[in-house]
Amino acid sequence: MTTTSVKPGTGDTAASPAGRDPSDRARSEQRLGWMLAGPAFAVMLLVTAYPIVQAVWYSLFDYRLTDPDNISFVGLNNYAVILTDEIWWISFGVTVFITVVTVAVELVLGFALALVMMNALKAIRPVLRAAILIPYAVITVVSAFAWQYAFSLDSGFVNSWFDWVPGVAADTDWFGGTFSSLFVICLAEIWKTTPFISLLLLAGLAQVPDVLQEAARVDGATWWQRMWKVTIPNMKAAIMVALLFRTLDAFRVFDTVFVMTNGANDTETVSFLAYRQTIARVEIGLGSAVSVLLFLSVVVICVGFIKGFKVDLSQARGEK
Amino acid sequence: MSTREKVLWIVAGVAIVVYALFPVGWIVSLSLKSSDDIANGQFLPTALSWENYEQILVGDAAELFLPALRNSFGIVLIATFIACVLSMFAAYAIARLDFSGKKLILSTALAVAIFPVISIVTPLFNLWRQIGLYDTWPGLIIPYLSLTLPLSIWTMSAFFREIPWEMEQAAQVDGATTWQAFRKVIVPLATPGVFTTAIIAFFIAWNDFAYGISLTSTSASRPVPAALGLFSGASQFESPNGPIAAAAVIVTIPVVVLVLIFQRRIVAGLTNGAVKG
pLDDT, tens digit (0-9, with 9 covering 90-100), for A290-308: 999 999 999 899 888 878 7
Facing A7 at nearest CB: one of B145, B178, B203: B178
Q: What's the confidence (pLDDT) of residue B205?
A: 92
Contacts of A287 in chain B (CB under 8 A): 122
CB of A241 within 8 Å of a chain B CB? The answer is no
* pLDDT value, residue A22: 65
Q: Are residues B30 and A191, on separate chains, in Cβ contact within 8 Å?
A: no
Query: With an 8 Å Cβ cutoff, is A22 touching chain B?
Result: no
Q: On the CB side of A11, how many CA atoms lie within 13 Å of its CA? A: 21
Q: Is B178 in Cβ contact with A8 (below 8 Å)?
A: yes
Radius of gyration of chain A (CA): 26
Q: Which residue of B has its CA nearest to A271?
A: B118
Scored b (16 or more CB within 10 A) or e, B237-247 reads beebbbbbbbb
pLDDT of the residue at A20: 53
pLDDT digits (tens, 9 = 90+) for A98-153: 999 999 999 999 999 988 888 877 778 888 888 888 998 899 999 999 999 999 88
The pLDDT of residue A37: 87
Angle (nearest 5°) at CA A118 between A117 and A124:
50
pLDDT at residue B273 in the model: 36
Whether B255 and A139 lie within 8 Å, measured CB to CB? yes
pTM, rounded to two decimals: 0.87
Interface check A162 vs B, CB under 8 A: no
Average pLDDT over residues A267-296: 89
Residues of chain B with pLDDT under 70: 1, 232-239, 272-277
How far apart CA A296 and CA A94 sit, in angstroms, is 17
DSSP category for residue B274: P
Say what the pLDDT of residue B234 is.
43
Name the residue with higher pLDDT: A106 or A170.
A106
List of chain A residues whose C-beta atoms are within 8 Å of the C-beta of residue B117:
252, 254, 271
CA atoms within 13 Å, Cβ hemisphere of B149: 30
* Tens of pLDDT, residues A61-84: 888 877 777 788 888 888 999 999
Establish if A176 touches chain B: CB-CB under 8 angstroms.
no
Instruction: Report the residue of B28, B92, B118 to disrupt the A interface, i.e. the one with the largest count of A CBs within 10 Å.
Output: B118
Interface confidence, given as ipTM, is 0.88
Phi, psi of A84, deg, nearest 5: -100, 0
**% of chain A at pLDDT higher than 90:** 27
Nearest Cβ partner for A288 among B9, B108, B122: B122
Q: List the single residue in A with minimal CA-CA distance to B104.
A: A41
CA–CA distance, B85 with B73 (Å, rounded to integer) = 18
* A255 at B interface, C-beta within 8 A: yes
| 8-state DSSP, A64 | B
> Got the DSSP string for A93-153?
HHHHHHHHHHHHHHHHHHHHHHHHHHHS-GGGHHHHHHHHHHHHHS-HHHHHHHHHHHHST
Q: What is the pLDDT of residue B182?
A: 82
Q: What per-residue confidence (pLDDT) applies to A297?
A: 92
Tell whether A136 lies on the interface with B, counting CB pairs under 8 A: yes
Q: Does A296 touch chain B (CB under 8 A)?
A: no
- The per-residue pLDDT for range A208-262, each reduced to its tens digit, is 888 888 888 888 888 888 888 888 888 887 888 888 888 988 998 999 999 888 8
**Which residue out of B119, B126, B146, B224 would a mutagenesis test of the A interface target, given it has the greatest number of A Cβ atoms within 10 Å?**
B119
pLDDT at A5 over 60: no
pLDDT, residue B138, reads 92
Task: Check if the beta carbon of residue B215 is closer than 8 Å to that of residue B124.
Answer: yes
- Mean pLDDT, chain A, rounded, equals 83
Q: By the CB < 8 Å criterion, does A37 face chain B?
A: yes
pLDDT given at position B239: 64
**Beta-carbon contacts of residue B216 (< 8 Å; ≥ 6 apart):** B134, B135, B139, B140, B222, B223, B226
* Residue A120 region by backbone torsions, left for phi larger than 0, else alpha for psi between -120 and 50, else beta: beta
Q: Name the 3-class secondary structure at A283.
A: strand
State how far residue B75 is from chain A, nearest Cα, in angstroms: 16
R_g (Cα) of chain B, nearest Å: 23
- Is some CB atom of chain B closer than 8 A to the CB atom of A149? yes
Contact B178, B172 (CB under 8 A): yes
- What angle is formed at CA A277 by the lines to CA A271 and CA A280, rounded to 5 degrees? 105
Supply the pLDDT for residue B249.
93
